[in-house]
Amino acid sequence: MSKTKHPITDELLDQLLANYQKPEDLIGAEGILKQLTKKLVERALDAELTHHLGHDKHQPVSNSAGNTRNGFSRKKLKGEFGELPIE
């Protein structure tokens, strides 16, 4: 069995499910799965942009191409869970 690079621990799951009482808390419109999906997608998009541009947010531009972050636009991710606004 191979180990994942960043395993999800039981302690993390316990924290995420601390207020779980009914299925809607997990899979409902404001459930933890939708919240996690939103946060993961936003974090991944930010990391991808950081890698592409070669600098973090709020850092001075050091590339000669002049590529910079110039704000963001709202998007909607559509899936089995419905629409999810992404910033």
Distance between CA atoms of residues 47 and 69, nearest Å: 12
Q: What is the C-alpha separation between 2 and 60, in angstroms, rounded?
A: 40
Question: Which residue type is seen at 71?
Answer: G
Q: Could you tell me the pTM of the whole model?
A: 0.71
Residue 28 CB contacts under 8 Å (≥ 6 apart), including other chains? 34
What's the token pair of residue 69?
Answer: 């972050």
Kindly list the averaged pLDDT for each block of 10 residues, start to end, along the chain of length 87: 78 92 90 92 90 76 64 83 84
> Strand 75-79 relative to strand 82-86: parallel, antiparallel, unpaired?
antiparallel
